[in-house]
Amino acid sequence: MRVAPADIEKWRKRLEATKSPSTVLREMASAYGVRRDDVSFMLLDISKASLDELQLVWNWDFSGTGKGFSDADLDKRLEKLTDGTT
């Protein structure tokens, strides 16, 4: 799944202006009706995420099962993708 070209700038600005990348990724998942693995690749469309950062998303506890990184852990690990103003 890829971000629609018309939406890339909107999501990029949202990501750059947040302290919580996990919130933005959840919003994207909801908006596009996709799951964690899809939204991890969508992150490439809106940021300069590395393969290591994609792997962090793959290990995120997106479904709330208690396995993987919490939202707070993911936010901390992806903080360089944001400017943290909100």
Region of residue 64 (phi > 0: left; psi between -120 and 50: alpha; otherwise: beta): left
Helix axes 51-58, 36-46, angle to 10 degrees: 150
What range does the domain containing 62 cover?
5-78
Q: What is the pLDDT of residues 35-59, one digit of tens each?
A: 999 999 999 999 999 999 999 999 9
- pTM, to two decimals: 0.91
55 within some domain: yes
pLDDT at 1: 84
Percent of all residues in the chain with a pLDDT value above 90, rounded to a whole number:
92
24 within some domain: yes
85 within some domain: no
**DSSP summary character for residue 60:** B
Q: Do the beta carbons of residue 43 and residue 4 sit within 8 Å?
A: no
Average pLDDT over residues 5-23: 95
83 within some domain: no
Q: How far is CA 41 from the centre of its chain?
A: 9
* Residue 84: pLDDT band with limits 50, 70, 90: low
